[in-house]
Structure 1
Amino acid sequence: MGLFHKKATNVVTEEPEQKKELSPFEKSEQQVVGFYSDFDNEQLFTIHLVFENGTEYDLSGQTKKSVGWIVSHKNSGTKGIFQYATNDGVGVGIDLRKVIILTVKPEETSKDEEDAA
């Protein structure tokens, strides 16, 4: 008669969370950000662009994430023009199809300047 005295338990089975497959752009972006893993997250970078007509332009104050975003767009052959809004509210339209050289370099921080002195 012990069958009716057994307490029922609810067993909840958790389905493993399915990882969303990354697009080729997202994979490229993660890879580029990974290249800068030696730098801390507060490190800023300058992206130097050289256009096919010889014009040069610097995008300063970029984070690792924004470097990854811009470089991945260039690498993936993005054909459109994107807007980049700077901190002072000025927008810059850049046609990445016209960029022939893209260089990224870390900016010196105040700590770097103190160490150099």
Structure 2
Amino acid sequence: MRFFHKKAENVAAKEPEKKEELSPFEATKQRIIDYYSDFNDEQLFTIHFVFEKGVEYDLLHQFKETVAWIVAQKNLGAEGIFQYADQYAEKIGIGIDLSKVITYTVKPEETPKDEEDVA
């Protein structure tokens, strides 16, 4: 009988790796990016805002990262945002009072490839 000569195996339960916890903003932003996972990273979007007084504004040519950032800000109650772009050597800035936005719509923009597919 050789019961006492068997090698003991380490069967201690391994702790699952702890993932770094995301802030509420980062978690919301990541969830929104996941909603747009069917779109590639180069896809551009237009965000259409409607403000309390009926004024409407289109924020054109936004990547899904930016869309997620803006929507997460709105969802978490940010009062305002400022977006800055350096496009065509013109420095452009826009401030949006998110507390005055009553609705917004995100729509993918057509790309030249989309237009070729239609033709």
Calculate percent identity across the aligned residue pairs. 58
CA–CA distance in structure 1, aligned partners of residues 114 and 44 of structure 2: 12
CA deviation map 1:24-73 (0-9, x unaligned): 11111001011110011110000000000111111111111000000000
Decide which of 88, 100, 103 is 1:101's aligned counterpart.
103
Q: Please give the root-mean-square deviation of Cα atoms over the aligned residues, in Å.
A: 1.4
- Compute the displacement of 1:18 (Å): 4.8
Equivalences for 1:14-25 in 2 at 5 Å?
Answer: 18-25=18-25
- Compute the displacement of 1:84 (Å): 1.1
- If each structure's strand is expressed as a fraction of its own residues, which one has the higher value? 2
Could you say which residue in structure 1 is the equivalent of 2:35?
35
CA–CA distance in structure 2, aligned partners of residues 24 and 48 of structure 1: 25
TM-score normalised to structure 1 length: 0.81
CA–CA distance in structure 2, aligned partners of residues 89 and 54 of structure 1: 28
- Compute the displacement of 1:19 (Å): 3.0
Structure 1 segments unaligned to the other structure (5+ residues): 1-15
Deviates more, 1:83-92 or 1:62-71: 83-92
